[in-house]
Amino acid sequence: MSGEPFLSRRSPGKEALTSSRLARSDFRVEASLLLSAATRIVARAAPRILIFAALLFVAAVAAPAQTTPSPPNPRLRFAPLDLAAVGSITPLGNLNPRGGHVFPTDHIYFDYGRKPDLSVYAPAEGLVQAIRGQSGDDFKIEVKVNARLSYYVAHLYPEKGIKVGSIIAGGQVIGKASGRGALDLGCMDAELTLKGFVNPKRYPSPTLHAASPFQFYEEPLRGQLYAKVERAGADKDGKIDFDVPGRLVGNWFLEGLPVNESARGTPETWAKQLAFVYDVRKPDAVRISFGGAIAPAADYEVAGNAPDPATVSEQSGVVKYELAWSRPSRGAQTLAPLATDGVQGVLLAQVLPEHKLKVEYFPGKRGADVKGFTGAARIYER
């Protein structure tokens, strides 16, 4: 071991110690300066911080309470009949004046060949709201799925145990097909209000909110249903609301029929209805549908398919239609031009101001035979 003191080898000398103390002193000064600066910054920012915090508090108090997200769109998940038993489906807009459908129907039809006792299935789960007798001896079951969607199935005999207040499951057997014509399926969408009615007060809620049932199905079932629809063109859903203000097209009511009686499902009401619309299967073919007040209850086709009622206005003056019984258009095939010898009569129509219409039917006449209105003309209104 050398003669140097132990300290000279293990500890800093006097100069090193002095340098270390100075460094620590400088650090304390810098820290003090930094702390002082930070204090001044916080002091200056404090009012702004307090204001920002207050605004956040006010916004939180004033904001509406968080609501539960709306559920996904309701769906129909089952066809009401075994599709193997369904020959065809008629979309929205069918005409059947003798059966009470002077106006285009707000439901679709499943044609199953009138085979009785086929099982009818609930298209979706829901609450049975009503069971109503139909014009025959069969029934209609009305079901509410949720606040948005309701549906009904008609012309069936309900299963025992199905009653008002019952909760049914999608796909559950709810009855047997009656064999009295087709099976009806109608849907009401509370988020949809049809715009093609000049006077909505004349129509019931199921019509104003009528939706195509196909829209509530998902693939692949939707495509399987569309494949059975008899309708030309890309639109397989159909249409029921054709009114245009100031035009002939759409629905009309015999003058004097009270607005609050317009939706009654009675022969007396149907007789006072008249429609200038289009064929459900061939949507470019004009159809005129009579309830019976001025011509025998039926839907008629138009010779030459003109004039188009959508183009007829007050400025058109008196227009003339040669009419014949509407022929079946199943399969959405193109109809041949109407033969002259098929004409049953002539209808004169004139659009008047204030949603009025003047009409007169001349049975057994041809267009050349009719020169103008007589005292037998009637007034219709929206």
CATH number at residue 83: 2.70.70.10
Tell me what pLDDT residue 116 has.
87
Angle at 236 between CA 88 and CA 286, to 5 degrees: 95
- What is the total count of domains within the chain? 2
Q: Confidence class of residue 290 from pLDDT cuts 50, 70 and 90?
A: very high
88 and 217 housed in the same domain: yes
Give strand ranges (E) for the chain: 88-90, 108-111, 119-121, 126-133, 139-144, 149-158, 167-168, 173-177, 183-189, 210-211, 250-254, 273-278, 286-290, 298-302, 318-325, 345-352, 356-363, 378-381
Tell me what pLDDT residue 44 has.
54
Give strand ranges (E) for 272-335: 273-278, 286-290, 298-302, 318-325
* Residue 39: both structure tokens together: 């204090």
92 and 227 housed in the same domain: yes
Tell me what pLDDT residue 4 has.
34
185 and 263 housed in the same domain: no
d(CA 272, CA 290): 8
Query: Of the candidates 202, 233, 264, which is a domain's last residue?
Result: 233
155 and 248 housed in the same domain: no
- Per-residue pLDDT at 270 exceeds 90: yes
Which pTM value belongs to this model? 0.78
Within a domain: residue 248? yes
193 and 315 housed in the same domain: no
Could you tell me which residue, 73 or 49, shows the higher pLDDT? 73
d(CA 55, CA 45): 16
d(CA 184, CA 132): 13
**Strand partners for 284:** none
251 and 341 housed in the same domain: yes
- The percentage of the chain sitting over the pLDDT mark of 90, rounded to a whole number, equals 74
282 and 332 housed in the same domain: yes
Tell me what pLDDT residue 341 has.
57
311 and 228 housed in the same domain: no
Beta carbons within 8 Å of 81's beta carbon, 6+ residues apart = 110, 112, 118, 119, 120, 121, 177, 183
d(CA 76, CA 122): 9
- Per-residue pLDDT at 323 exceeds 90: yes
- Per-residue pLDDT at 136 exceeds 60: yes
Exposure string (b/e) for 229-263, b if CB count within 10 Å is 16 or more? bbbbeeebbbbbbbbeeebbbbbbbbeebeeeebe
Query: Cβ atoms within 10 A of the Cβ of 323, count?
Result: 26
d(CA 238, CA 56): 52
Beta carbons within 8 Å of 324's beta carbon, 6+ residues apart = 300, 301, 303, 338, 342, 343, 344
**Domain span including residue 216:** 76-233
* Residue 265: both structure tokens together: 């499902």
Tell me what pLDDT residue 33 has.
41
172 and 217 housed in the same domain: yes
